[in-house]
A and B are shown apart, each in its own frame.
Chain A
Amino acid sequence: MAEARKTESLRDAYGNALVDLGGKDPKLVVLDADLSGSTRTQLFGKKFPDRFFNVGVMEPTMVTIAAGLALGGRTVFASTFAVFAAGHSYNMIRQSVCYNHANVKIVATHGGLLVGPDGGTHQMLEDIGLMRGLPGMTVVVPADAPTTRSAILALAEVYGPAYVRLTRENLPTVTDGSFEIGRANELRPGSDLTIVALGALVARALDVAEELHKVGVEVRILDAASVKPFDEAAVLRAARDTGALLVLEEHTVETGVGSLIAATTAENYPVPVRRVGVPDVFGESGEGWALMDRFGLSEGRIMEEAWELLRARGKVH
């Protein structure tokens, strides 16, 4: 399935969105920390050199400088890899951006296992948990290039801190790009089971749903691109309608969206929830999709988890 879809670069979508935003808002500035070719902020930098600051390898201070620029009334985008943003610069994001309530959008590329050969040091698997724990932070994890574009444009319109996690790999285009902060998009209807997925795993969720459809099981797919604010209503609706939830994320299960959904349903409408994410370990070198399989995010494993939930629900025997 995935092979048949058109794949596109989320990073290109980001860089191109920045160029469009830069043309519209003469006060918008962009920062990067020596990875502008990889993050694609370079596209903005070439077009608007006066409003582009490549600060070199000082990610924490990229964030504080971004906050200072933002307090002057600017919309500021700052990019680096997820591990250097949410990881290395966590306390700067916490204090200089969130505590100050500065209008800084951190767009972190290279989140998750799909970073691949660079290995476990660079495969950021804890960022969503860290960022969604920050008061006032908006967290978005787009599944494809069209959502990346619309999310960047939407975030630029709204004052306040934001964290966007992008994937290094090109990903299949699975949405029409409709994105709304605080809304989970239903990409496929279904009443037997709901799979909530984010980022690169949305395409995989759709593949699993297609396979199950062949045997008469209808799986609802929710794209949880808006991690914070989270679409609690859509998740609880899915819990009521389908009775079980399977959550897929390229992130540690300890603090990810699966934990959030488990807590939300436990408090409001308890149903069986299975969290499929990276167990409590670091990644390692390898080809990105092979790592996904290695760390428990294979299509086979997802299918097994789905069947288990369906059996538990009495939908199949």
Chain B
Amino acid sequence: MADEVSSARIAELERTAREMRREIIRMTRAAGSGHPGGSLSVTDLLAALVFQEMKLDPARVDWPDRDRLVLSKGHAAPALYAALALRGFLPREELRTLRQLGSRLQGHVDRNKLAAIEASTGCLGQGIGMAVGMALDARLARRSNRVYTIIGDGECQSGPTWEALMAGGHYALGNFVVLLDRNGYETDGSTESIMGIEPIVDKFRAFRYHTLDIDGHDFGQILNALAAARAVTDRPTAIVARTVKGKGVSFMEGTHVYHGKAPTAAEAEKALAELGVPP
């Protein structure tokens, strides 16, 4: 349970998340394109999953009992690559190859290029359905692994997202957890000004999910929610993680501008300064 996670461990996760954020800035800067805003907002959720909650083994990416993570918002690829690199799934230097010809680090995550990726995603509303399939597979095979998927809030405007949510609820997938990176913004602006998704918590509840509403940048709350999800086995869990788009970089926070725009050299320098020089 989360209360077993010491404050020292949480401080460590916070340091890891900060390192991930620096890598996100560096790699999107090197690539000259990408999605920093939604990568920075989902960083803490990913750090909690990859460095604490999930059963993973970098030496055995095909370990049958590993927990699965499907990044349904596949454009947050830089955040996942950063987490996987720091966790030992790929060399850290490789992060600089993001989006370049011949790289394993595609603009949107690709399982056929990088084995640590569970499912290739990018077009929205699909990863969540694949995750439902993986959870059904685990149940059929009587494996104990859990399946996590991270969806975006713009993605909640997509019909197939709700199809997949309906299926997860119908099949009462106790091994399935949906994390919503509720950063409030999509490409063109705020979700509520474009196509409102609220009341999102009510919607998940109506779809038969054990639903939790948390601060997606508070590791104590994130780990508590993931532990609570583990304790509920008769239905899936939805975690609405309230996050800040561009979290950690002042000029990227709370705006849609950096949804799909990489920082310039000067912006990257400023961002890295804000995120602190690595030890």
**Which residues of A approach B to under 8 Å, CB–CB?**
27, 29, 50-51, 53, 55, 58, 60-61, 63-74, 91-92, 95-96, 99-101
Contact = CB atoms under 8 A, between A and B. Distances in A.
B137 interface: yes
Contacts of A55: 167
Contact of B130 (A27, A51, A91, A96): A96
Nearest to A58: B163
B111 A100 contact: yes
16 contacts: A51-B140, A55-B167, A61-B129, A64-B127, A67-B129, A67-B133, A68-B133, A68-B135, A69-B137, A70-B133, A72-B137, A72-B141, A74-B137, A95-B120, A96-B129, A100-B111
A68 B160 contact: no
A29 B140 contact: yes
Contacts of B131: 68
A61 B166 CA distance: 10
A69 B135 CA distance: 8
A67 B122 CA distance: 15
B120 A100 contact: yes
A27 B126 CA distance: 23
B133 A64 contact: yes
Contact of B160 (A64, A72, A74): A64
Give the secondary structure class of A's interface.
helix
Of all A-B residue pairs in the complex, the 8 with the closest CB atoms, nearest first, are A68-B133, A64-B129, A72-B137, A61-B163, A68-B130, A58-B163, A65-B133, A69-B133
Interface of B: 70, 110-112, 118-123, 125-138, 140-141, 159-160, 163-164, 166-167
Contacts of A58: 160, 163, 166-167
A29 B132 CA distance: 14
Most buried by B among A69, A74, A92: A69
Nearest to A60: B160
Given A70-B133, A95-B126, 13 more contacts: A53-B136, A58-B163, A60-B129, A60-B159, A65-B129, A67-B119, A67-B133, A68-B134, A71-B134, A92-B129, A96-B119, A96-B129, A100-B120
A244 B112 CA distance: 42
A57 to B, nearest CB: 9
Contact of B167 (A65, A71, A96, A101): A65
A61 B111 contact: no
B130 A71 contact: yes
Contacts of A101: 112
Contacts of B137: 68-69, 71-74
B120 A68 contact: no
Contacts of A61: 129, 132, 160, 163-164, 167
Contacts of A72: 133-134, 137-138, 141
